[in-house]
């Protein structure tokens, strides 16, 4: 029996809670593994409470997604960090872009690999116009609304200039919120002589060489946490459970039918997000 752990006043190794944030943000349908505040809340709360951690580390690999969910998740992390006076460190793997970078900014410092991709501080809205398709096939679109804006950006009707202007106004407001959060969190570290909010992206090496201020350095999680908290630091992993269907590889009968469409949409949406960064 190891009696050392029972000795009074013996200094224990520091504990660091490690939260993995992997995937697109905001895809939270049943059976999905996307990141959302509702799905992450219990995990984040436990990470800040269990074992009185000396710090919390975020392992981020996300191409972004919902601005709202990005803001909610980041706000939860900051609230707990401030309440419990626990430092937070972000480590970017392949990518922390758009909403993924929003999450990274919830940390006190951001570390990347040389080839990680960061940035994309912008907002995008994409979709399809199917009005010519249904016209070609003799399909008539019938829409009845109470309220002039209820058919806003209907993909089965030609785009209207006033709808485009309204959408651009909404996107600009979201972009403004994103810029304000990054500016608030990164403060004077951000380069003051260039526009970092165009939606452009950088590798970790470029972000450092060009002195953007978007990151604090090149480092991997384990060696950096050992450097900060000692070689014997204990890393306590926290990650989302895989959806039931992914854990068991299949579903039966009506379960397959009820989730098939939603899962296909999730896959297509997430693949499109990753594809922007060549992943």
Please write down the HEC assignment for all residues of 83-100: HHCCCEEEEEEEEEECHH
Domains of the chain: 13-122+178-275 (3.90.226.10)
Active-site residue identified among 50, 150, 232, 242: 150
98 is catalytic: yes
| Residue range 252-268: mean pLDDT, rounded | 50
Asked if pLDDT for residue 255 goes beyond 50, the answer is no
pLDDT band at 201 (very low <50, low <70, confident <90, very high): very high
pLDDT band at 147 (very low <50, low <70, confident <90, very high): low
Q: What is the chain's mean pLDDT, rounded?
A: 81
pLDDT band at 45 (very low <50, low <70, confident <90, very high): very high
Question: What is the per-residue pLDDT for 126?
Answer: 63
State the SS3 of the chain. CCHHHHCCCCCCCCEEEEEEEECCECCCCCCCCCECHHHHHHHHHHHHHCCCCCEEEEEEEECCECHHHHHHHHHHHHHHHHHHCCCEEEEEEEEEECHHHHHHCCCCEEEECCCCEEECCCCCCCCCCCHHHHHHCCCCCCCCCCCCCCCCCCCCCCCCHHHHHHHHHHHHHHHHHHHHHHHHHHHHHCCCCCCCCCCCEEEHHHHHHCCCCCCCEECCHHHHHHHHHCCCCEEEEECCCCCHHHHHCCCCHHHHHHHHHHHHHHHHHHHHHHHCCCC
Percent of the chain with pLDDT over 70: 66
| Residue range 177-199: mean pLDDT, rounded | 90
Question: What is the per-residue pLDDT for 176?
Answer: 82
Q: What whole-number distance in Å separates Cα of residue 170 and Cα of residue 209?
A: 34
Question: What is the per-residue pLDDT for 115?
Answer: 97
pLDDT band at 60 (very low <50, low <70, confident <90, very high): very high
Chain segment 7-41, per-residue pLDDT in tens: 555 578 999 999 999 999 985 555 556 799 999 99
Asked if pLDDT for residue 245 goes beyond 50, the answer is no
Question: What is the per-residue pLDDT for 151?
Answer: 61
> Helix 37-49 crosses helix 67-84 at what angle (to 10 degrees)?
20
258 is catalytic: no
Question: What is the per-residue pLDDT for 268?
Answer: 66
Chain segment 72-106, per-residue pLDDT in tens: 999 999 999 999 999 999 999 999 999 999 999 99
Asked if pLDDT for residue 141 goes beyond 80, the answer is no
Question: What is the per-residue pLDDT for 135?
Answer: 67
- First-last CA distance in the chain: 49
pLDDT band at 172 (very low <50, low <70, confident <90, very high): confident
Active-site residue identified among 32, 62, 70, 98: 98
The conformational region for residue 245 under phi > 0 = left, psi -120 to 50 = alpha, else beta, is alpha
- Please tell me the least confidently modeled range out of 131-135, 139-143, 188-192: 131-135
């Amino acid at each position: 029996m190891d009696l050392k752990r029972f000795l009074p006043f013996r200094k224990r190794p520091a504990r660091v809670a490690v939260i993995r944030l992997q995937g697109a943000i905001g895809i939270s349908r049943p059976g999905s593994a996307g990141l959302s505040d509702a799905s992450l809340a219990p995990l984040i709360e436990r990470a800040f409470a269990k074992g009185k951690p000396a710090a919390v580390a975020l392992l981020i690999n996300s191409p972004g997604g919902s601005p709202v969910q990005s803001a909610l998740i980041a706000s939860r992390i900051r609230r707990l960090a401030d309440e419990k006076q626990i430092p937070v460190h972000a480590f970017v793997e392949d990518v922390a872009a758009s909403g993924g970078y929003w999450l990274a900014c919830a940390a006190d410092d951001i570390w990347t690999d040389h080839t990680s991709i960061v940035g994309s501080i912008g907002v995008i809205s994409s979709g399809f116009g199917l009005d010519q398709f249904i016209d070609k096939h003799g399909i008539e679109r019938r829409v009845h609304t109470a309220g002039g804006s209820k058919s806003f950006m209907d993909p089965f009707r030609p785009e209207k200039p006033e709808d485009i202007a309204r959408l651009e106004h909404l996107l600009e407001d979201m972009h403004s919120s994103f810029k304000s959060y990054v500016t608030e969190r990164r403060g004077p570290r951000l380069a003051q002589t260039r526009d970092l909010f165009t939606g452009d992206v950088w590798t970790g090496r470029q972000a450092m060489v060009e002195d953007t201020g978007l990151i604090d350095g090149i480092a991997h999680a384990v060696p950096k946490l050992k450097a900060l908290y000692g070689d014997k630091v204990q890393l306590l992993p926290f990650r989302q459970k895989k959806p039931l269907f992914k854990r068991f590889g299949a579903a039966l009968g009506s379960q397959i039918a009820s989730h098939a469409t939603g899962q296909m949409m999730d896959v297509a949406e997430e693949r499109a997000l990753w594809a922007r960064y060549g992943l």
